Structure 1
Amino acid sequence: MRQHIGYVSVLVRDYDEAIAYFIERLGFGLVEDTNLGNGKRWVLIAPPGSVETRILLAKAATPNQTQHIGNQTGGRVFLFLHTDDFWRDYEAYRSKGVLFREEPRVEPYGTVAVFVDLYGNRWDLLQLTR
């Protein structure tokens, strides 16, 4: 049996605002943007080189969903963005205004630093030690 995670849903305030952030600041690509009617869209983005897993940008549609934007995991790191060159991406993100919550550190598993996206979701930028 072969399985993989296809999509991870991230709650957003506005589709276009989120698309702009992920493309302009993080260098992600827009995989799909399909209008589903009634203000709903199917928006998939992915970091460069990602083959299977995509992020589904899901516009909050209820007050309960809205209150969870930026805090889908109760303040823990939500997503782990693997890179083949930590320092290249760290410096590029900083130059584009991405907010890092800590200084980079070397751990037994790799080089890592936590950043937040435009909504406050916590991400690890991570280059694994091979």
Structure 2
Amino acid sequence: MRQRIARVALLVPDYDAAIAFYCGALGFDLLEDTEMGGGKRWVVVRPKGACETALLLARAVGPEQEAAIGRQAGGRVGFFLFTDDLVRDHAAMRARGVSFLEEPRHEAYGSVAVFSDPFGNHWDLLQPAEPEGP
């Protein structure tokens, strides 16, 4: 049996603002943007070159969901964008207006720089010390 995590839902305040950041500033691919009726859309984005896990951008509805925007990980880094070249991607992302919370640093597990999306979610841009296996 083979299983995989295919989608991770990320609460956002607005579909178009989320698409602009994830596809514009981060360079992700827009895989799907389907109207679901009632103002809902099925919006899926994924980093270029990725082939499995993608983000489902879910517009928050109601006060409880709206309060969770940017806090889905309780203020911790909750998302990890792996790269094969941190220097290249850090420079490109900064040039496109991504807000980094620190300069790149080197740890035993790899090189990392924390950034924030416009909604308050913290991300690691991470170049692992050792390439990932299959």
TM-score past 0.5 threshold: yes
Number of the residue aligned with 1:22: 22
Which amino acid in the other structure matches residue 65 of structure 1?
Q
What's the counterpart of residue 33 of structure 1? 33
Show the counterpart of 1:99: 99
Task: Measure the CA separation in 1 of the matches of 2:78 and 2:108.
Answer: 20
What is the rounded CA distance, in whole Å, between the counterparts of 1:28 and 1:86 in structure 2? 16
Secondary structure of the corresponding residue to residue 87 of structure 2: helix
Identity %: 57
Poorly superposed stretches of 4+, deviation over 3 Å: none
1:9-88 alignment runs, 5 A limit: 9-88=9-88
Between the two proteins, the alignment pairs up a number of residues equal to: 130
TM-score (normalised: structure 2):
0.95
In structure 1, the gaps of 5 or more residues are: none
The Cα RMSD (Å) is: 0.7
Mark the runs of 5 or more structure 2 residues left unpaired by the alignment. none
Q: CA deviation at 1:11?
A: 0.4
- TM normalised by structure 1 equals 0.98
Distance across 1 between alignment mates of 2:109 and 2:82: 12
